Amino acid sequence: MSKNDMLDVELLEDDEGEEDTQEDKYLTFTIGKEDFGIEIRYVTEIIGIQNITEVPDMPSYIKGVINLRGKVIPVMDVRLRFESQERPYDDRTCIIVINIDERPVGLIVDRVLEVLDIQENDIESPPKMRKGDTNRFIQGMGKVGERVKILLNANKLLFDEDERVQP
């Protein structure tokens, strides 16, 4: 695997060499101007953008599949999942490979930042915009210094269909 294919694997390793429970640890990344985080326990690796094979009759946010060391993995453009404007991929675009219930999926993000330790008492519930309505992909809002990281619910990001009532 080339250096361009594998990005900063050290982000996923424990710096202190102690047993790492991965509790309260989040891999942070950007989409547009916003910072997001996903629980590190779901992350298996971070790779550079790959050749993506399009698959017909998939939701628009599923860009297709990649061949990762002989395993075919679907990839989702997180921008499109959030119904944001698509942008061309560049040398900072990454695929975060996560695994939920033995199902690997690649998440295309603008840029990977770092692994942060965000304690439970620094996480607030997502804001409710209307009665009973919250962003279904948000697990919480992590306070990191003066910044806020939007912490995503990986399971809902991958598997939650839009259940909002259509007019």
Tell me which residue of 130, 124, 126 sits closest to 143, measured CA to CA.
Answer: 124
Q: Do 93 and 110 contact (CB within 8 A), yes or no?
A: yes
Q: What is the predicted pLDDT for the residue at 136?
A: 81
Backbone φ, ψ for residue 16 (5° rounding): -95, -5
The H-assigned helical ranges of 38-108 are 78-81
Whether the per-residue pLDDT at 60 is higher than 60: the answer is yes
- Whether pTM > 0.85 for this model: the answer is no
Note the pLDDT tens digit of each residue in 99-138: 998 999 999 999 999 999 999 999 998 877 655 555 788 9
What is the pLDDT at residue 161?
A: 63
Residue with tokens 């990191």: 144
Confidence at 34, pLDDT banded by 50, 70, 90:
very high
Beta pairing, strands 147-152 & 34-39: parallel
Hey, what CATH class is 9-158 in? mainly beta
Give CA–CA dist 43/123, Å, rounded. Answer: 20
- Burial (0-12, 13-18, 19+ Cβ within 10 Å), 50: middle
Burial of 130 (0-12, 13-18, 19+ CB in 10 A): exposed
CA dist 61 and 114 (Å) reads 24
Domains of the chain, residue spans: 9-158
Angstrom distance (rounded) from CA 93 to CA 83 = 18
Dig out the tokens for 21 from the structure: 């429970």
Q: Using one digit for the tens of pLDDT, what is the confidence trace for 11-20?
A: 555 444 445 5
